[in-house]
Structure 1
Amino acid sequence: MSTDSTKRNITVGVFVLLGIIIFIAGIFVLGGQQKRFTKSIKIIAVFNDVGGLKAGNNVWFSGVKIGTVKRISFYGTAQVEVDMNIEESSQQFIRKDANATISSDGLIGNKIVVITGGTTSHPEVEDGDRLKTVAALSSDQILETLQENNNNLLRVTKDFKELVGNLRKGKGTVGAVLTDSIVADNFKRAMRNLERASDNTVNLTGSVSKFASRLNTPGSLANQLVTDTTVFRSLKRSATRFESAMTSADQSINTLSRTAENVNKASEKLNNTNSPLGVLLTDGETANKLRTTINNLSTGTELLNEDLKAAQNNFLLRGFFKKKAKAEEKARADSLKAVQQQLPDSTASKP
């Protein structure tokens, strides 16, 4: 065999060997991607629309690829059943109440199945379990939403353009402020007034702060009124006494009111010509008769005294009056003697 043919055979052998190695490596790579060489379980999900999902697409759980789509077939009247191969090692993390939805790998990437949710109160999935599905937004719905947002943005841009045009033309309050110098001056003046009012508010706040600090100064009357319970109780007692005094004053006023009312009633009775006092106070003739009667009584009293004196000098009654005078004189002498007898006894009893 010639040297050229030997080199040719060696070259062909090398290329064949490289092809075999690449083929075997591709098988392992594709098998690894398709999870052909790992233990797996099958779970099922039924969708109304798979949105272009194909067999061999990936299955994700919490952002991690855990399996592939094995088979897609129609189910019922218009639904699609998707069989998925899931790694047995991830079985413990997927619960029977988990949800499956159709998503995409990126904005325009391949369709994938995403498993979400699930709580530890439910057991883990088993081979042949069927998961609940959640409808996802399709690309058409997303495009419709984007189109609607674009239309809204176009309307907002148009409105903003009209607003800027009105401002430039001096329409509205803001436009007048921007274009009319008088309105701008008035606006500046109002802002200066507002600034002065703000300064006054700051000063007032400072004054209130100083007053509050004085209230917190120990030993001051305000601080004692706020913090000292003794002063507070004293003020409370004083207020109670003042209230009692006001109550007493109210009672006195009520008494005076009743007294004035009684006086008014008495004056009404005195002014009444049907009562005796009213007649005496108002009727002059009756007053003159009463005056005459009193004078007559006085005169009769004087005459009676004279008659009594004359009776004492009468010989028939003279003895009676003498006996009476002697008895009175004897009684005075006896009482004087008793007093004189008591005087030595009281003097002797003194030390």
Structure 2
Amino acid sequence: MSTSDNKRSIIVGIFVFLAIVILIAGIFTLGGQQKRFIESIAVRAVFNDVAGLKTGNNVWFSGVKIGTIKNIRLLGDSQVEITMNIEERVQEYIRKDAVARISSESFIGNKNIVIDGGSQKAAPVEDGDIIKSVSPLNTDDMMETLQRNNKNLAAITDDFKVLSAKVVQGEGTVGAILTDSMLANNFRAMVANLQQASQNTVRASNALTNFTSKLNTEGALANELLTDTTVYSELRTSMAQLKQATTSAAELTNNLNATSAKLNNNNNAVGVLLADEEFARQLKGTMQNLETSTQKFDQNMEALQSNFLLRGYFKKQEKEETKKQEQLKSQPQQPDTTKQQ
């Protein structure tokens, strides 16, 4: 064999060796990414829609990659069973009540499964367990909803554009307020009135505060009425007496009403005196006759005094009367103790 053939064989061997090394490195690299050479357990979850999830996609737990999707299998009733290879070292952190949900690495990136660990009360998952799942958000539904919201926003923008144009032109109440100077002046006056009313309210509140403070001043009448039981008892007694006086006044009024009713009745003497005109004329004539008789009686008495048969008797009576008067004058006068008292 020639020297050139030996060189060619050596070069080919080197390239074959490098190819084998690269192949082995690639196998180990892909196996490491797919967790082929790591001890793992199989955990399953059932979804109604996997939203484009593929075999080999990643499984995440608390932001850490812990496994890959091993198998995707269709079940009845439009359900899909996902089998996940999970590293055995994280088995103790994932509980039987954990929940699996489908997520994505970005808005349009690859799909993956995210596991929420569950509660500490539950036991760790075991190989072959089925955990709960949450249906993923449908991107098509999201886009449809977003498109509908964009249409609504466009309609609202158009309506607001028309409304703002009417406001600028002075149409409607808001436009009139913004463009009519008279309405603006009225609005200012209304605000001024509201401010004045607010000030009056503050003053009334201050006055009420001062009044209540006076009520709490010791020694004042209001405070005595509110706190002193003696004053309250006296006031209560006075009110009782006033009530009794009112009752007595009412009884007196009733008696006066009854008396006035009797005075207006012709069946009694007073009523006859007040109401019967005929009796009044007769009584007046009688009084006139009495007056005439009295005058005649005085004349007769004067005539008797001038009669010589009775003159001595009247003179004797006159002397006795004069003597009594002199005795009264000669007695000392007693002080009037009643006036002094």
* Range of TM-score over shorter length: 0.5 to 0.7
Q: Deviations over 1:4-36 (max 9, x none)?
A: 9659946962x5555455444433332332222
2:19 & 2:96 partners in 1: Cα distance? 45
Count how many residue pairs are aligned between Structure 1 and Structure 2. 280
Q: Classify the secondary structure of the residue corresponding to 1:234.
A: helix
The match for 1:335 is none
The match for 1:189 is 185
Q: Is structure 2 residue 300 aligned with structure 1 residue 269?
A: no
Deviation (angstroms), 1:107: 0.7
Deviation (angstroms), 1:211: 6.4
Mapped contact 1:41–1:88 kept (Cα < 8 A):
yes
Identity of aligned pairs, percent? 44
- After TM superposition, list the pairs within 5 Å mapping 1:204-243 onto structure 2: 223=213, 225-226=215-216, 234-236=224-226, 237=228, 238=231, 241-242=234-235
Q: Classify the secondary structure of the residue corresponding to 2:267.
A: coil
For 1:248, which of 237, 241, 246 is the aligned residue?
241
Q: CA RMSD in A?
A: 4.0
TM-score by length of 1: 0.64
Q: Gaps spanning 5+ residues in structure 2: where?
A: 291-341
Mapped contact 2:177–2:184 kept (Cα < 8 A):
no
Describe the shift of the 1:60–1:204 C-alpha distance in structure 2 as closer, same or farther (beyond 3 A). Answer: farther
Mapped contact 2:49–2:136 kept (Cα < 8 A):
no
For 1:257, which of 227, 250, 259 is the aligned residue?
250
Mapped contact 2:91–2:126 kept (Cα < 8 A):
yes
TM-score by length of 2: 0.65
Q: Is structure 2 residue 36 aligned with structure 1 residue 36?
A: yes
Q: Classify the secondary structure of the residue corresponding to 1:95.
A: coil
2:248 & 2:205 partners in 1: Cα distance? 51
2:274 & 2:114 partners in 1: Cα distance? 120
The farther-off stretch of 52-61 and 193-202 is 193-202
2:189 & 2:4 partners in 1: Cα distance? 108
2:204 & 2:259 partners in 1: Cα distance? 62
Deviation (angstroms), 1:77: 4.8
2:10 & 2:233 partners in 1: Cα distance? 127
Mapped contact 2:93–2:117 kept (Cα < 8 A):
no
Deviation (angstroms), 1:135: 1.6
- After TM superposition, list the pairs within 5 Å mapping 1:10-159 onto structure 2: 13=14, 19-116=19-116, 118-159=118-159
Q: Classify the secondary structure of the residue corresponding to 1:100.
A: strand
- The one-letter code of the counterpart of 2:128 is G
The farther-off stretch of 50-59 and 75-84 is 75-84
